[in-house]
Amino acid sequence: MSPGPAPRHGAAPVASITQLVGRTPLVRLRRIGAGLPGIRVYAKCEFMNPGGSVKDRPALGMIEAGLADGRVRPGATVLDATSGNTGVAYAWICAALGLRCTLVMPSNVSAARKRIVRAYGAEIVFSSPLDGSDGAIRKARELVAAAPERFFYSDQYGNEENPRAHERGTAVEIAEALGGRVAAFVAGIGTGGTVMGTSRGLRALAPGVRCVAVEPEEPLHGLEGLKHMASSIVPPIYREAELDQKISMPTGEAWAMTERLAREEGLRVGHSSGAAVAGALRVARELAAAGVEGDVVTVLPDRAERYLEPRRWDRRITW
């Protein structure tokens, strides 16, 4: 039986869409998390942010910090390397704030993401598809070195405003929603901002919380947005020593969980979400087996739509 609708409240008007970032829903995974005595598994629906992903939080935090301290100068262009979601976040936020935006992306990112950022008016510079996100980082650094006066290089991989956005936002929202009863927090590693910042915030608000990172098991994997740390440029903001555990996630297990989320929970999300939930379920089982009670929380970074490209014969054009 459905637990019934959540209470609804009238939304106050806002001066800018940027004010709608955060306060995303937390949903219990009742079927996937079933059969675990004393354990409840929750997922934070970050795809409910205005730009459709968890990356809205750090992108806004980095740009606002740059505006506040004068690093975003009049006429400057916000620039960063991105595999997709942060790029979308930069693009819509820059559009809302009246700023220029240039994004360095591997040329093999999904066609949907390319179309979305261009629709917001962002310029794309492509890097080699063979070099992944690391190649985009190197290309972005080259552009900045050649014209430092032109760009505000927000550097999501090295900017402490990235994890700080989650420490001050995501962690606080989770702790408030669950009354501080968080036994474990699990998140995938992309830049490292989500798992590091949320873990720091929760350690202060939910003493004893177990903080776990999830990475792809293989260097060549099918989990877009996640980094295999041993074969990648390790982001300066990622500090593994602060975490309690790191899980290596096979692509197949993550994809299977993504399908379960759609069929069993009504959540059509990307494969990085599948990896995070599969990792959270492993941790939840370990806690249940040890007789620990409490809530296990993970993050759903985005919806599946950004990974779905219709086949040519499926397209329909109407006038």
Residues assigned a catalytic role:
55, 272
The CB-side HSE value for 95 (13 A sphere, CA atoms) comes to 17
**Could you tell me how many residues make up the chain?**
319
The dihedral built from the CA positions of residue 59, 63, 65 and 71, taken in this order, carries a sign that is positive
Residue keyed to tokens 């290089």:
153
> What gap in Å lies between CA 186 and CA 43, rounded to an integer?
10
Quick check: helix, strand or coil at residue 107? coil
Rg (CA), the chain: 19
What are the DSSP calls for 110-143, one per residue? -HHHHHHHHHTT-EEEEE-GGGHHHHHHHHHHHH
> What gap in Å lies between CA 168 and CA 94, rounded to an integer?
22
By the 10 Å C-beta count (0-12 exposed, 13-18 middle, 19+ buried), 6 is classed as: exposed
Quick check: helix, strand or coil at residue 292? coil
- Kindly state the tokens that stand for 264: 């069993």
Q: From edge to edge, which strands make up the β-sheet containing 151-153?
A: 123-127, 100-106, 77-81, 151-153
